[in-house]
Amino acid sequence: MWKRMRTSTLRLRGRANRMHRARPMKAMQMANLTLRQLEYIISVAELGSVTAASKQLHVAQSAISASIADLERTIGIQIFIRHARGLSPTREGHEILDESRKILLGAEGLEQYAADRSEVLSGSLIVGCYTTLASPILPPSLAAFATKHPQVHVDFTVGHSDQIIEQVQHGECDLAILYDFLREGSFTELNLQSTPLTRSRPYVLLHSEHPLASAHVIDLADLVDDPFILFDLAPGAEYFLSLFASEGVEPRIQYRSRDFELVRGLVARGLGYSILSQRTVIGESYEGLPLTMVDLSAQHKGLEVISLTPDTRLPSRRAQAFISECRGVLARP
């Protein structure tokens, strides 16, 4: 998470820092702490073991263990309890970890301030994107971003929601674009910051000759006897099924598929209907068969499309600029 940060020395003096108030520390009159040490204890606390932190940070276990032990000796506080399953923070350790996160956030803010003084953005950016949002959002966003910021190298990864969230948590992605699937209010618990970009209302996908294809809106109760083709990519499947539950009906599931275009193709062949969130500008399947999109009733407010960044540090200017491009793409009619 803090790999790019240079190891710096922090001089924390006696009463100047609230960490010192956790326990009297005579040795803290002129103690030297490093940002790297703080990075290590945060990683161990979040992952629960030195072994897991070693893999994430690509640092030898012995180096992490020695660094933590040295930090505990320096400040005179036991940060972790060692047990068979790994390490757990002590009560005072939790306070140390809270202060360490603040220090690292401030240090990165200083680093970002220095970078922001340059008008030209450079460096690298890794973007994670939910599967069905990737095709409509990434190509135009990447093209516009590359034109404005040619010195930034952008890479991306595409996957399901939980996979992308984990990559942001572990520092493998700088930001993610995804749906807020049933996660209202939960991202802060994952040390993530979500920012709404737009709202996408669910719709019914029908083959062109379906009796309801000419309707303006549809209630799911009108389709309860028809075969349903479920887009079965987690956690989207749970969301789509929750729409039926909210109307007190149960779908007659005929097929399940994690392939977005396969779902559309099955519908185009008249094998059933589907409920989707991602709208397409192409009104036909791969075979060239026509499809019809009809809005669900107004009681279904839809999903927010959000950007997701770690809340333990400020989003870089690169990340902010890319999110701005995504917001512009999503605002198009």
Q: What is the pLDDT of residues 74-123, one digit of tens each?
A: 898 999 998 888 899 999 999 999 998 888 887 776 766 666 565 688 89
Q: Half-sphere exposure (CA, 13 Å, Cβ side) for 296?
A: 25
pLDDT attached to residue 321: 95
Domains of the chain, start order: 9-116 (1.10.10.10), 123-197+304-330 (3.40.190.10), 203-300 (3.40.190.10)
The stretch 22-27 carries a mean pLDDT of 42
Tell me how far apart the terminal alpha carbons of the chain are, to the nearest angstrom.
37
Q: What is the pLDDT of residue 41?
A: 94
Hey, CA dihedral for 231, 237, 240, 246, is it positive or negative?
positive
User: Per-residue pLDDT for 13 more than 50?
Assistant: no
**What is the structure's pLDDT at 10?**
38
pLDDT at 135 over 70: yes
Identity at 71, one-letter amino acid code:
L
pLDDT tens digits, residue range 151-174? 999 999 999 998 999 999 888 999
Residue in 242, 240, 284 with CA at minimum distance from that of residue 261: 284
Q: Is the pLDDT of residue 130 over 90?
A: yes
Give the pLDDT mean for 7-31. 40
Split at pLDDT 50, 70, 90, the class of 187 is: confident
Question: For position 182, what pLDDT does the model report?
Answer: 58
Q: Is 154 exposed, middle or buried (0-12, 13-18, 19+ CB in 10 A)?
A: middle
- pLDDT for 202-261, tens place per residue? 999 999 999 999 999 999 999 999 999 999 988 889 999 999 998 899 999 999 999 999
In the predicted structure, residue 127 carries a pLDDT above the cut 90: yes
Instruction: Examine the pLDDT at 282 and tell me if it is beyond 90.
Output: no
